[in-house]
Each structure stands twice: as structure tokens, then as C-alpha cells.
A = this chain, B = another copy of it.
């Protein structure tokens, strides 16, 4: 295992120390239990958004804490759900009394622990609604999931629902926006290489030198098929066909096209894939009116990518374009 780390047990906490120091103007990290929270939390009168999950997917979720997006994020150990008490502590810190939306990726541990935290919060008169993101079209059930997994759509949902909260929507309104994003977003990923979880020291799976995994999950869990590596245009077609046919997206739709790197894939490849995806969408009559290209929901150093499509309407475009100030996404401020 080759990593820039000290003791594998300390990776997440030590990384949080650096993250907090680098973005002290924007956020605070509290420890024991660990969570990230907006420096100005709680924001009076505003619905708070709280998300979280296993670490190793950075910048998700801590990199999305700040005005216009999340109020707090709860990082568990690498690829391991945060505990209910950590989610509760983050919920308490973020809550101004206007209600809290939990944004939960659909993994069994995350769903259970956020549910427990929501119950504990309710016992303290904090009103909590939850949205469970399940945008991955690759598999119906998986190693970590009953139902579809939550992947790239989470990033877009946190931005758009965060903007709804920032403009003053109430909890029901913010939850409604979040549910509508989830209903209109689909993703699929692929990997060229595995990643190595620090505390195990072993690759998450094995791939031959000429193989790739199509439909990979963000923890390296298996996808749809293991096939020979193909040219980028074919890889993009495999992902995009599955995504487009699922909702389905059709001619005349306009979409946000999100090409996401798994952590170890260089930008030159992500932009190349984005160009190919755009060409293939144009052939289907689907218009790309917003874009995001980069490493936003990752699997440590895994090489690979995912493609996410979100069907847009005027409101989603306005909310996407609204100002955001976080470590990983920033515009308008």
C-alpha cells in the first residue's frame, strides 16, 4: 500500500484537521464524534441540510459544506457509515429550528444510522425529513444496498436543494425539491483500477491489465460486467446508454451532464469523455445546458469515472446557478 498517510487508523481525523485549517473561513470541524459544520451555523430561519457517509469519497460531503449547499456533513471511517450519535450531533449543530433535511445515499448502514439519528432528533423536537438518493442504474441490489445505490446524483441534489433552502423554502419545500432531483437523475460508473482502503491495505478487488468493470459502485463493489478495456467512445456509450434508457431521457430534454472522476483519473481523460458524451447526447436530440466535470464523488485513488444526467427545468437551472461557496464548488460569491 502506497499512500501519503501516517497510521492508517488516523487517516480520516488527520485529514479533517488539515481540511478545517485550510477552510477555517467557511467551516468548523468538531471532534468526538467528528463532523463538519458551517462556521456560521445555525443559520437563523433557514432549513438546514445535513449529509454524510463513509469517508474516501472526498470532496463529498465535507467539501460541500457552506453557503448555498450543506450546513453539516458527517464523515464516517473510510467506506463505513457514520454512527447515529455523530449524525445527531451534526443535526443539532446545524438546526436553527426551521427543520433539517437529511440527504442520505442509499446504503444500508447509512439509511439505518440516519433513521436512528432522525428519531433521536425528533425526541428533541428537531423536525427532520430525509431524502434517500438512489440514482445508480447499474444494479438493483448490491453488496451494500437494498435497491439502487446513491452516487453522482447526490452532488447535484445537495447543490440544488441547498439553493432551495438558501432562497427560503420551508422544510416541505426543500424536501420536495430534493425528491424531484432524485426522481430526475440517473448515473452509472466504471473503473479501470481498484482502490486500497487504508486500514485493510489490500485492493478492493482485482482487475486484469486489460479489463475494466462496468457499473462499479463507489466502494469498488461489483457492477454489471467485467469486460476488456475499450476506446473512450465505447465506454461512454456503455454508461450513457444505460443511463439514458433508464429514466428514459428523450429528444427535446435538456440536461445537466456530470462527468465525475473516481479520484485517480486525470482531467484530460474526463474532458475527453465529456466531449464524447455530449456528442452522443446530441445524436439523441438531448441538449446539455449545464455541465460539471471533475472529481466530486470519488473512491480514493480508483481510476474510472461515472456519468450522471439530471433532467432540467427552469427552476432546477436557477437553483443550480445560484451562488454557492464551499471548498469544492464555488461560484457567484
Contact = CB atoms under 8 A, between A and B. Distances in A.
Interface in A287-305: 288, 291, 293, 295, 298, 300-301, 303-305
A40 interface: no
A2 B330 contact: no
A227 interface: no
A7 B278 CA distance: 18
Nearest to A299: B266
B21 A275 contact: yes
Interface in A134-184: none
A305 to B, nearest CB: 6
Interface in A44-61: 55-56, 58-59
Interface stretch (A91-99, A218-226, A230-238): A230-238
Contacts of A233: 6
A269 B15 contact: yes
A246 interface: no
B268 A56 contact: yes
A5 B269 contact: yes
* Copies of chain A in the complex: 2
Interface in A1-55: 2-7, 11-12, 14-19, 21-22, 55
A332 interface: yes
Per DSSP, chain A at the interface is: mixed
Chain A residues touching B, range: 35 or more
A14 B266 contact: no
A89 B87 CA distance: 55
Nearest to A290: B22
A12 B295 CA distance: 19
B298 A4 contact: no
A215 interface: no
Given A264-B303, A330-B330, A269 B3 contact: yes
Contact of A271 (B19, B78, B229, B265): B19
Contacts of A330: 330-331
A229 B2 contact: yes
A132 interface: no
Contacts of A16: 271
Given A5-B231, A14-B275, A331-B330, A264 B264 contact: yes
A278 B4 contact: no
A240 to B, nearest CB: 13
Contact of A56 (B14, B266, B273): B266
A122 interface: no
Given A2-B212, A6-B232, 16 more contacts: A5-B269, A6-B231, A14-B275, A15-B272, A15-B275, A19-B275, A21-B275, A22-B274, A22-B291, A22-B293, A55-B268, A78-B268, A263-B267, A264-B266, A267-B295, A295-B295
Sort A-B residue pairs by CB-CB distance and give the 6 closest, nearest first: A18-B275, A18-B271, A58-B267, A18-B274, A4-B269, A2-B192
